[in-house]
Amino acid sequence: MTDHLSTATLNALADGELSADQLTSTQEHLAGCQACTSSALFQSLLKSATARAGQRYAAPQELLVRLSPQKLSKFNTRPSISPGLTTATQPQAGANTPPVRYQAVFGWAVAAALLIASLSIILVQRNQQQVAAISQAVSEISDQHIAMLASSQPLAVLSSDRHTVKPWFQGKLPFSFNLPDNLPVDTRLEGANLTYLRNQPVAQLVYSIGNHSVSVFVKPKISSNLPTNFSAESSGFHFISATTATLQFEAISDVDPKRLSQLVDILERTQIQQ
């Protein structure tokens, strides 16, 4: 037992977290205790010195520019890019207009060039929209998969039995799907979660392939900028998307892409067969 102030009190004093009563009694103690006064001074100096040393990294100017809501919106929602591109191209077109005496000769050529340029811009925009949509989908799926891996909570339904996992979703999803009976070698159904992607409830089926965890998100097929079937890689994770007539499957894992593809193929075929 010590008569000195506790570590917690000294820290709270330095951090300005003591109540009025605590502060009064602490100050009374400090008035008569040189050792604690010295400790309090050290704690206070350590705090202010840490504050100074902690202000170490200044944000780059380019980042600050990128963080404006207009820029973020542009990054987030591709359609807002279109008007900007259109207006940006108009002055250039005007500036490239040939002199009057050449108009008769080059008129059609300019029109053709503008047409080609417009088509190119449309194609580039479509490509950009598709790339952005894929990037957004992969990012969201990765977040969900990583969160599942990091979570200490068990899956909402823990079972390797497809007749347990599938019925669990009854009443929770506005669609249904089939689960395969025969899985590839070393592949096992671990369970499932109900989760949300793009504000829609979806089934997150969790499989294991060897020691690798796989998340397969099942949702209704909707029209979007995403291509129907595609694969991608992000931060070491492989991502495969496949669609049937009514459903879309998005699978993610760090397992060999061929084995991930096998699982997705079986899931896809199961929807047609059953």
Partner 1 sequence: MKLLSWRRAVPQSVPQAVAFEDLALPLASSLYNIAHWLTRSSTEAEDLVQETYLKALRGFAAFEPGTNFKAWIFRILRNTYLTSRSGLAAMRTVALEDELNESSERGHHAYPESAIDRHTPETNLIVLLNRAALESAMQQLPTSLLEVILLCDVEEMKYKEIATVLDIPIGTVMSRIARARAAMRQTLQQHPNYVPESRA
Task: Report the residue from 30, 36, 138, 216 that binds partner 1 according to the rule CB under 8 A.
Answer: 36
| Beta strands 200-209 and 237-243, pairing class | unpaired
57 counts as binding partner 1 under rule CB under 8 A: yes
Among 42, 112, 127, 220, interactor with partner 1 by CB under 8 A:
42
* One character per residue 130-149, x = contact with partner 1 (rule: CB under 8 A): -------------xx-xxxx
Applying CB under 8 A, which part among 3-11, 97-105, 124-132, 159-167 lies near partner 1? 3-11
Concatenating the DSSP letter of every residue in 61-130 gives: HHHHHHTSHHHHHHHH-GGGHHHHHHHHHHHHHHHTPPPHHHHHHHHHHHHHHHHHHHHHHHHHHHHHHH
Distance CA 144, CA 63 (A): 26
Binds partner 1 by CB under 8 A, chosen from 31, 58, 104, 245: 58
Under 8 Å between Cβ of 252 and 145: yes
Contact between 8 and partner 1 per CB under 8 A: yes
Question: Quick one: how far is CA 178 from the chain centroid?
Answer: 28
User: Binding to partner 1 by residue 69, rule CB under 8 A?
Assistant: yes
Residue 183's identity, in one-letter code, is: L
What is the rounded CA–CA span in Å between residue 122 and residue 117? Answer: 9
Applying CB under 8 A, what is the total number of residues that bind partner 1? 62
Give the nearest distance from C-beta 160 to partner 1 in angstroms: 20
Residue 37: CB minimum distance to partner 1, A: 10
To partner 1, the closest distance from the beta carbon of 101 in angstroms equals: 48
Question: Does 216 help bind partner 1 (rule: CB under 8 A)?
Answer: no
- Which DSSP string do the residues of 149-209 spell out, in sequence order? HH--SPPSB--S-HHHHHHHTTTTSSS-----SSPPTTEEEEEEEEEEETTEEEEEEEEEE
* Rounded-to-integer distance, Cα 162 and Cα 204, Å: 13
Contact status: 235 vs partner 1 (CB under 8 A): yes
Minimum distance from residue 154 beta carbon to partner 1 (Å)? 11
Q: Would you say 121 or 133 has its CB closer to partner 1?
A: 133
Q: Which amino acid is at 251?
A: A
Residues 183-212 that bind partner 1 (CB under 8 A): 193-196, 199, 204
Residues at the interface with partner 1 (CB under 8 A): 2, 4, 6-8, 10-12, 15, 17, 35-36, 38-39, 41-43, 45-60, 63-64, 66-69, 72-73, 75-77, 143-144, 146-151, 153, 156, 193-196, 199, 204, 235-236
